[in-house]
Structure 1
Amino acid sequence: MSLDKILSIAGKPGLHKLVTQTRTGFVAESLIDGKRSTVNMRTNVSVLSEIAIYTLEEEVPLREVFSKIQEKESGEKTAVKHKDDKLKLEEYFFEVLPNYDEDRVYASDIKKVIQWYNLLHDHGITDFTAPEETKEEVKAEEESTEK
């Protein structure tokens, strides 16, 4: 399953996977307990594939951050827990993404990234590569900026 179907829903803990759309919203299933719930269109929902982390140069897509964590941990869960103290979390995140913007990426954001990575790992969602059409769009965009 790709990150395009994984959601963060305001007011609900953890992550959810998109099950189906309805007339007034959609049905989501919690990755924590498997319970399904309906979510209306007014609810603040973020798709993981659309989230990015601020760095000093640019914004790095969350899928790339997850890939770097996966590489650092050799495909295993993170060495730190999302409930560890702020300093420990920041040190760990600095090892993963050394140029992250410390003024705009808060400890609460780092906690979410670590918690989400471990939750995805627990559910066997470990393919963080971009979908093929996205790769082609990026390549075409790079070629056009080179000209």
Structure 2
Amino acid sequence: MDLTKIIAITGKSGLFELLSQTKGGFIVKDLVAQKKLSINANSQVSLLQNISIYTQDSEVSLISVLVSISKKHQFKEIEFDKNDTNTLRSLMKDAQPDYAEDRVYNSDLKKLFTWYNILVKNGIITEESVKAYEDNLAKSSDDSQKENSEDCNISQKTATNEISNDDTKDEACVTKKSTKKTPAKKKAE
């Protein structure tokens, strides 16, 4: 699921695929009308991968909500009435149970489910693309954990002094302190 080139443009409904950059703007493809158009560089655009949704405690990426929706609905479009707020909220509660109901507006939910349908219809959200996304996510998580572990081992090997107090050691990486040697002062004669 590659959403790196999918954008929303303020003032325009639907989603757009970024095709190329021109001197004064961008060439995009409207994913609903399937037509290419030029937009000004001053247009306000948002990459879908950078959008978040409020939860009770923090925020969650739009991508993870889209993945959750796609799994709940077997990667198929959802039929919903844009004016039925109860249905929209129920669909959202199924996808993201801890979403902040007071901070996520009905208009946001209409946009979210409309975007989901556009992405499914254009073959951007599929079972295969979601699996590939989750595999990449797991791989990058494993790589970062491995990298942190390697950094820990390197810092332990290169440190000059060790912490000898057993009470301060734990399962995590312990960074070792080095002492700075200062030159001895000369006696005044």
TM-score normalised according to structure 2 size: 0.68
What one-letter code is carried by the residue in structure 1 that aligns with 2:109?
Answer: I
Aligned positions of 1:67-78 closer than 5 A: 67-78=67-78
CA–CA separation in structure 1 for the residues paired with 2:46 and 2:63: 14
The aligned counterpart of 1:60 is 60
CA–CA separation in structure 2 for the residues paired with 1:25 and 1:134: 36
What one-letter code is carried by the residue in structure 1 that aligns with 2:6?
Answer: I
Q: Is the 8 A contact 2:48 2:62 kept in 1?
A: yes
State the SS of the aligned residue for 2:27. strand
TM-score normalised according to structure 1 size: 0.86
Give the length in aligned residue pairs.
145
Root-mean-square deviation (CA, aligned residues, Å) is: 2.6
The aligned counterpart of 2:123 is 124
What one-letter code is carried by the residue in structure 2 that aligns with 1:16?
Answer: F
| C-alpha deviation, 1:116, in angstroms | 0.4
CA–CA separation in structure 1 for the residues paired with 2:103 and 2:5: 26
Q: Is the 8 A contact 2:80 2:87 kept in 1?
A: no
TM-aligned CA distance change 1:56 to 1:21, over 3 Å: same
The aligned counterpart of 1:140 is 144
TM-aligned CA distance change 1:130 to 1:26, over 3 Å: farther
The higher radius of gyration belongs to 2
CA–CA separation in structure 2 for the residues paired with 1:29 and 1:86: 30
What one-letter code is carried by the residue in structure 2 that aligns with 1:46?
Answer: S
Q: Is the 8 A contact 1:81 1:115 kept in 2?
A: no
The aligned counterpart of 1:25 is 25
The aligned counterpart of 2:49 is 49
The aligned counterpart of 1:96 is 95
| C-alpha deviation, 1:130, in angstroms | 6.3
CA–CA separation in structure 1 for the residues paired with 2:33 and 2:68: 27
Indicate the structure with greater strand content. 1
The aligned counterpart of 1:81 is 80
State the SS of the aligned residue for 1:3. coil
Identity %: 36
The aligned counterpart of 2:107 is 108
Which ranges of structure 1 fall in alignment gaps of 5 or more residues? none
CA–CA separation in structure 2 for the residues paired with 1:19 and 1:94: 34
